């Protein structure tokens, strides 16, 4: 196994683990996470940690890369229309994209009409893995391809995540360089929020209260979730919350990339804890915790590689672990060939395939 395949597999598995841990606490205020769940996974939970639509969509992108041997908005649209169709798995804004593709809309224009959300940022790590040590290429490819589902700050968030993971794929990764990459392709508001979130996470053993005060974006999502929970038949996504006896103040969620990306990057580069503890901390943030912890995991997995593989193999479903091996093997051949065609490929990128 080369260093590249270790890092590619590590990024996918750590993202899936963060996603799965965050699924327990999604839509909750951090105080409710501490009171209602107490630990992640919750005490008494048995079995592997299951991932959500975040990782399901991530797998669609990886399959597109391997099947088409390239990735752009048109190639992704073909697979998206076929595979992002199950309302029990995928969220409203993701199903909307499938409907628009079926109606013949231009893939590059669909994102501009979709609900502003973080579903481009949550899967942009795939482009960092596809273009290791080539942060600008990773960010630009993420921007072009994920215009299929988002626009504006949604694509800023995607570029930030793609560049962060690309930098973390370095054979000698540096957290300062990962942080720099996360800010290089975003506007001033996103950059300011990333910087502040990192400061808070670095300085506090439990940064959640201050992050809620300074970085959280109230976009109305909490009200929608609470209204759903009051119905006689809440959506499948929220059925797991109905047994927790929640009050209105227990429910909290926001899906703005201006919140999710800065907090996820901050946990990845600012936390002084071990890998698994950092993922649990990110997941215990609540709100859109599966996406926050999933992005955090994608960066940490690319950064640490083999160390993450040991952490995740015993926790995740065996089928996903096997799938991650297949993906990393396929990516290794494809990426190595692609790098030979890129004139400005760095020596660092080439060293990923030396062992």
Q: Residue 41: give the domain boundaries.
A: 3-351
Buried b (16+ CB within 10 A) or exposed e, 102-135: eeeeebbebbeebbbbbbbbbbbbbbbbbbbbbb
- pLDDT value of residue 346: 65
Q: Are 223 and 252 in contact (CB under 8 A)?
A: no
Q: How many CB atoms lie within 10 A of CB 95?
A: 16
Omega into 351 within 30° of 0, i.e. cis?
no
User: Quick check: helix, strand or coil at residue 28?
Assistant: strand
How many domains does the chain contain in total?
1
pLDDT tens digits, one per residue of 95-147: 999 999 999 999 999 999 999 999 999 999 999 999 999 999 999 999 999 99
CATH code of the domain in which 333 resides? 1.10.4080.10
Tokens representing residue 245 in the block: 């006896």
Inter-residue contact 29 to 286 (CB < 8 Å): yes
Residue 210 has a pLDDT of 98
Spatial distance between the Cα atoms of 279 and 312, rounded to a whole number of angstroms: 11
Considering the entire predicted model, what is its pTM? 0.96
Q: Which residues, at least 6 apart from 263, have a Cβ–Cβ distance to it below 8 Å?
A: 197, 211, 215, 282, 285, 292
Q: CA gyration radius for the chain? A: 19
Q: Which pLDDT belongs to residue 351?
A: 80
What is the Cα–Cα distance from 110 to 162, expressed in whole angstroms? 21
pLDDT of residue 47: 87
Instruction: Give the pLDDT confidence score for residue 83 in this predicted structure.
Output: 96
Residue ranges in the chain modelled with pLDDT below 50: none
Question: Phi/psi of residue 271, each to 5°?
Answer: -75, 140
Strand partners, 129: none
Specify the 3-state DSSP secondary structure of 307: helix
- Are 115 and 93 in contact by the 8 Å Cβ rule? The answer is yes
pLDDT on residue 342: 63
pLDDT of residue 341: 65
Q: Report how far residue 65's alpha carbon sits from residue 129's, in angstroms, rounded to the nearest whole number.
A: 11
- Nearest CA among 218, 214, 220 for reference residue 192: 214
Residue range 25-77, pLDDT digits in tens: 999 999 999 999 989 999 889 889 999 999 999 999 999 999 997 899 999 99
For residue 228 the two structure tokens come to 């759903």
């Amino acid at each position: 196994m080369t260093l590249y395949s270790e890092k590619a597999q590590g990024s996918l598995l750590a993202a899936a683990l963060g996603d799965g841990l965050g699924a327990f606490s999604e839509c909750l205020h951090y105080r409710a996470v501490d009171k209602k769940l107490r630990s992640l996974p919750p005490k008494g939970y048995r079995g592997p940690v299951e991932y959500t639509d975040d990782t399901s969509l991530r797998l669609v992108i990886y399959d597109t890369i391997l099947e088409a041997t390239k990735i752009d908005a048109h190639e992704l649209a073909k697979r998206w229309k076929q595979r992002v169709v199950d309302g029990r798995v995928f969220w409203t804004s993701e199903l909307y994209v499938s409907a628009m593709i079926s109606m013949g809309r231009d893939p590059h224009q669909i994102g501009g009409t979709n609900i502003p959300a973080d579903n481009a940022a949550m899967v942009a790590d795939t482009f960092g893995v596809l273009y290791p040590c080539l942060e600008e290429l990773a960010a630009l490819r993420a921007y072009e391809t994920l215009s299929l589902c988002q626009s504006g700050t949604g694509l800023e968030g995607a570029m930030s995540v793609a560049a962060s993971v690309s930098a973390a794929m370095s054979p000698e990764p540096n957290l300062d360089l990962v942080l720099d990459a996360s800010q290089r392709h975003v506007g001033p508001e996103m950059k300011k929020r990333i910087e502040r979130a990192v400061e808070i996470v670095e300085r506090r053993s439990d940064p959640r209260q201050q992050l809620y005060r300074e970085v959280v974006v109230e976009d109305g999502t909490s009200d929608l979730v609470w209204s759903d929970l009051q119905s006689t038949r809440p959506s499948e996504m929220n059925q797991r919350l109905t047994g927790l006896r929640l009050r209105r103040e227990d429910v909290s969620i926001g899906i703005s990339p201006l919140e999710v990306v800065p907090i996820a990057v901050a946990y990845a580069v600012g936390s002084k804890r071990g890998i698994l503890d950092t993922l649990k901390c990110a997941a215990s943030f609540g709100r859109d915790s599966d996406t926050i912890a999933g992005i955090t995991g994608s960066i940490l997995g690319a950064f640490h590689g083999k160390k993450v593989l040991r952490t995740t193999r015993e926790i995740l479903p065996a089928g996903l672990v096997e799938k991650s091996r297949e993906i990393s093997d396929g990516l290794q051949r494809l990426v190595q060939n692609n790098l030979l065609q890129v004139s400005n490929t760095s020596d660092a990128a080439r060293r990923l395939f030396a062992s």
